[in-house]
Amino acid sequence: MALALYRKYRPQTFAEVVGQEHVTEPLINAIRAGRLNHAYLFSGPRGCGKTSSARILARSLNCAQGPTAEPCGECRSCKALAADGHGSVDVIEIDAASHGGVDDARELRERAVFAPVDSRYKIYIIDEAHMVTAAGFNALLKLVEEPPDYVLFIFATTEPDKVLPTIRSRTHHYPFRLIPPPAMRELCRKLCDEEGAVVADDVLPLVVRAGGGSARDTLSVLDQLIAGAGPEGVTYERAAALLGVTDAGLLDEMCEAFAAADGAAVMEVVERVVEGGHDPRRFAGDLLERLRDLIVLTQVPDAGSAGLVDAPADQLAKMTSQATRMGTSTLMRMGEVVAAGLAGMRGATAPRLLLELACVRAILPGSDESMAGLMQRLETLEQRAAGAAFAVPAREAAAGGQAGATGAAAARAALAKATAPAEAAPTPAPAAPVVAPAVEATAPSEPAAVPPWEDEAPQANPPQPAATPEPVAAPADDWSDAEPVPAAEPAAPTYAPAADGGGMTAASIRRQWDRIMMAVKDKKRTTAALLQDATIADATDNEVVLAFKHSFHAENLQKEPAYGIVVGVFNEVLGGNWKIRCEVGEAGSLPKAGTGPAPSPAPSRSAPAPSKSVPARQATAPAAEVFDEPPAEEYGEPSPDDPVAPGGFGTSEEQAVKLLTTAFGAKQIA
């Protein structure tokens, strides 16, 4: 029969004790300095290393090369006190639960006067010291206060307050603590490697959580999972079923339903919990712990690396997205509602009903007249206002870029007119100068040029219905290629439509959201960044509604190539021919899928590319296309190969210098 893991891997030196550096380091320093006390009190939760540290201290004091903080492990005393040793007659372990009376204390007192047989010290390790009766402690009081020089006492207990104060005051008290999850997870991984066991990475957080910070309990759980593992090793599904914990997928679906305020999805998750045989109380407790992790992530973005939230990297990224979309006030109120529901489930005859009521109350802040409900509604309004304010600078910058481009084109046209030869007849130019005014005259009367999802905002320089500018003749060398050349139609997305969607719902799409995000990230990371703010509000067989906090994200996702990438990924992952509708606001208040027309594609998908000539730029630069190409690239400094003129400004070098001298002064130009 094999030894249990907690016995096989019991620490043999202070360096092997995990998570108790605040105790082991002072003990090591005391041994090295030779400042030993005659009595010690080790207290702390079960399985955190109290008895093991007492044995290590006994080995360190009785080592043939000691007292030393690093026992040699080769002398007779070290071998006798090892994990597989037979024990030493000079190190006596007493279980106070069965030897805590007056008679046992008297027997101990009579034997303590004899010198050690084969060691330097006679050491008494009294485990569960709080079980010693008051009369027994009083019988030991004189011996503990003034023992012989070769006698040393080590008391270990989980309840130091029950130890007689007169005994506690005569000892050096070292409080042990629960082992933090990162250190425990590292220990489990190390032992799995030494045992040659195949354990999935997402199993270790379940084992650490089941152990509750106790090394002995954690290793016992890990030993049980390894013993019952199949050829594939310890999988997450087997571990979750054996430990009775809630599947992380159910918690993710419930949090996604909370973020979308989807009551149907909430009820579906509760039904799956009950059908899966999970205890509603256990699910409520795990859900409350998940809400706690999300609250921590809203306050500490690097909570995963800091050890405040114990979860794998992929799960941590998903939880961070959920926390960002819900907000602190919303999470706080949901946690309070679930906690109240969990408290009401104790002793209840219908725990499922209470779980359903708690979950529905969590997504309905309007039914809560308390301050928490008011704060949640106020937070939602603030998020909407922040999204609107975030989109204003982008629109202003776009309008400014368009105005600057129009002004630059007008200046270049005026400069060409001023520097034209005097003998040139004022006849109209053949093609380009005539087409541009016609387009400008008809552009304001075409409302279809403005996309339906763009907010109507006043432009910086609205088109004026003024008189058509007089066409100017230009030298043949400068304007020979001014005829606007229509660009080729952009190619349609290469995503082939798949089969029918098969009755997809918002909840089923949320379960596939990780695959969708990974596929979008593989195609284009900037598009995936726009989707980080998205929540699936509703879905039908061929249309899905995405809710955004910020209108900037919603507007840019409706443009190419982002729209085509997202639609293609939906078709590949879910099957069918999907349409995407982006809305700004809370998911629960948006119109359902299929109730309104889907937005038409962005203008950039069908509009021809603007020509390099000045009239073509003036005619084909609507405000809706500003986001498609940055103004700096479209209307920046003209390149030397611009068809306007060899010099790039439509005139000769001397004329350009003269014009600049007139505008800025001769000294600055010189």
DSSP string covering 29-58, please?
HHHHHT---SEEEEE-STTSSHHHHHHHHH
- Residue at 545: amino acid letter: V
Q: Is 5-175 a CATH 3.40.50.300 domain? A: yes
130-133 own/partner pairs: CB under 8 Å, 24+ apart: 130/96, 130/157, 130/158, 130/159, 130/160, 130/161, 130/162, 130/163, 131/96, 131/97, 131/100, 132/96, 132/100, 132/105, 132/163, 132/164, 133/100, 133/101, 133/102
Q: What angle do CA 116, 118, 124 make, to 5 degrees?
A: 45
The model's pLDDT over 120-153, given as tens digits with 9 standing for 90+, comes to 999 999 999 999 888 888 888 889 988 898 999 9
Rounded distance, CA 62 to CA 57, Å? 9
Q: Answer yes or no: same fold for 5-175 and 181-243.
A: no
Q: Is the pTM of this model over 0.85?
A: no
Which value, in Å, is the radius of gyration of the alpha carbons in the chain?
39
What's residue 457's pLDDT? Answer: 44
Phi, psi of 591 (to 5 degrees): -65, 150
Any idea which residue has 């907690």 for tokens? 6
Closest CA to 111 of 123, 101, 100: 123
Tokens of 142: 């004189």
- Residue at 7: amino acid letter: R
Q: How many residues does the chain have?
A: 670
Q: Is 181-243 a CATH 1.10.8.60 domain? A: yes
Instruction: Please tell me the number of Cα atoms within 13 Å of 480 on its side-chain side.
Output: 5
> Which residues neighbour 660 within 8 Å (Cβ) at sequence distance 6 or greater?
669
Say what angle helices 215-227 and 204-211 make with each other, to 10 degrees. 140
Domain 248-368, second-level architecture: Up-down Bundle (1.20)
- For the domain 506-603, what is the CATH code? 3.30.300.180
Tokens of 442: 């008809």
Residues of the chain with pLDDT under 70: 1, 366-377, 379-503, 586-670
Domain ranges, ordered by start, for the chain: 5-175, 181-243, 248-368, 506-603
> Which residues neighbour 131 within 8 Å (Cβ) at sequence distance 6 or greater?
96, 97, 100
Other Cβ atoms within 10 Å of 37 Cβ, number: 11
Any idea which residue has 């903080």 for tokens? 69
